[in-house]
Structure formats: structure tokens, C-alpha cells
Amino acid sequence: DTAVSQTPKYLVTQMGNDKSIKCEQNLGHDTMYWYKQDSKKFLKIMFSYNNKELIINETVPNRFSPKSPDKAHLNLHINSLELGDSAVYFCASSQSAGAEAFFGQGTRLTVV
Amino acid sequence: GDSVTQMEGPVTLSEEAFLTINCTYTATGYPSLFWYVQYPGEGLQLLLKATKADDKGSNKGFEATYRKETTSFHLEKGSVQVSDSAVYFCALNLISSGSARQLTFGSGTQLTVLP
């Protein structure tokens, strides 16, 4: 049973499109995150939710909008996709903010 | 501000060689420190952690000791295997804006072990 699962695993789309990535965790954790990993493997936090409440919102274009319908889900919606959005996006969860995190398998987004 | 500086790669070793990947941090408080590993095509997995000074984390033959005096958390393994080839990330948890803690990662070190 996968602890943190995100879908889709691969996403290829054209510039200007809108897309969503879904994430679910079955660990009973209170905190969920979205990270972006660039081509050089650098990881940057984008958002963090604790009990459905946004607690970290790093400098990210407002084309990116997270939504947490409940504690176990954190989705990422991206409007008007740009070439520079191509990256691997990781969802993660932890028992509390800043505790050890469990990561999903990643979504490789390619914007063409 | 709080940050993690990690040894740049890539690192290439022969099987059974000794591995050290350096990690130093700056922090205003007393963070917990972590090493994560990312195998090709996968997400990050926690390798080991230490929550206070002088703690030693260990797992799968890897070790790291939380050194407050040198603000370091170097990863070591006495004899690497081909299966250890992966990207290794040092991380700490730090206070973000509004008192929320978050994990902050180093830049990652690609390790390749040759047979």
C-alpha cells in the first residue's frame, strides 16, 4: 500500500495549458508539501499545508495554486503552463511541520 | 538565514571504497538533521537522521554524526556497493516565516559506484 501517491507520473503538455497533479497520503500525517526539483536535482519547497491550512507559501508564480480538500489530499493546479515549469514535482507528507518527510514518486512535467 | 551546504558532485567510486559526503549547516537554533537518498526515477527516502548534538544516525551501513562544534553532518560508509549509486541530500528543519518549520535540502550529491 503506497504511503504517498501522486498522479500522474508523467505529464506532457503544451504551453498555455492548465493542468493538475493530485496527491494522497494514507499515513495519517497532518502536514503535506509540494516540492519542485529542477534538472540539476535542486529541490525547492513550494507550499506546505498543515491540517488543510496553508502554512508555507514560498515565492512561486500565482499560476500555481494548491488545494487541500482534506488532510490526506493536496493537489496542485497550474495555469498557463510555461516552458520553465518543466521539472519533477514531488508531494510529501510528515507528522508535523518540519518532521521527517515521506515523498511520493514524483510527477515529471514536460511543457512543450 | 538558515541553510545547508553540501559537497558538490558528482562523486565516482569503485566498489568497496570508503565514502564521505560533506554537509555543513548554518542555523540560529538547534535543527534536526537528515540525509535522504534518491534512486533513479524515484522519490526521496529518508536514509538517517539525528535530532541533537552528538547523535549518530545510521542505516544500511551509512552513518552521520551531528557535530555542533563544526556545524557538520557528514555522511560516511565504509564500503560502498554498486546499488548505492544515487543522489544524496542533506537536509535540516528550520523555522520559516510565521514560525512554521520546513525541511530545507542541500543541492544533492550524485554518487556513482563502479563495479
Instruction: Give pLDDT tens digits for B66-84.
Output: 999 999 999 999 999 999 9
Q: What is the pLDDT of residue B96?
A: 55
What are the helix (H) ranges across chain A? none
Phi and psi at residue B83, to the nearest 5°: -70, -10
d(CA A33, CA A66): 10
CB-CB neighbors (< 8 A) of B45 in chain A = 103
Q: What is the DSSP code (8-state) at residue B67? A: B
Nearest CA of chain A to the CA of B81: how many Å?
22
CB-CB neighbors (< 8 A) of A100 in chain B = 32, 34, 46, 49, 103
Closest-CA residue to B52 (of B62, B63, B66): B66
* Inter-CA distances, B74 with A2, A90, B13, B47, Å: 31, 25, 17, 13
Q: What is the pLDDT of residue B99?
A: 56
Nearest CA of chain A to the CA of B103: how many Å?
5
* CB within 8 Å: A101 and B96: no
pLDDT tens for each residue of B101-110: 788 899 999 9
Return the CA Rg of chain A: 13
pLDDT tens for each residue of A70-90: 999 999 999 999 999 999 999
d(CA A39, CA A9): 16
Count the alpha carbons within 13 Å of B98 in the hemisphere toward its beta carbon: 12
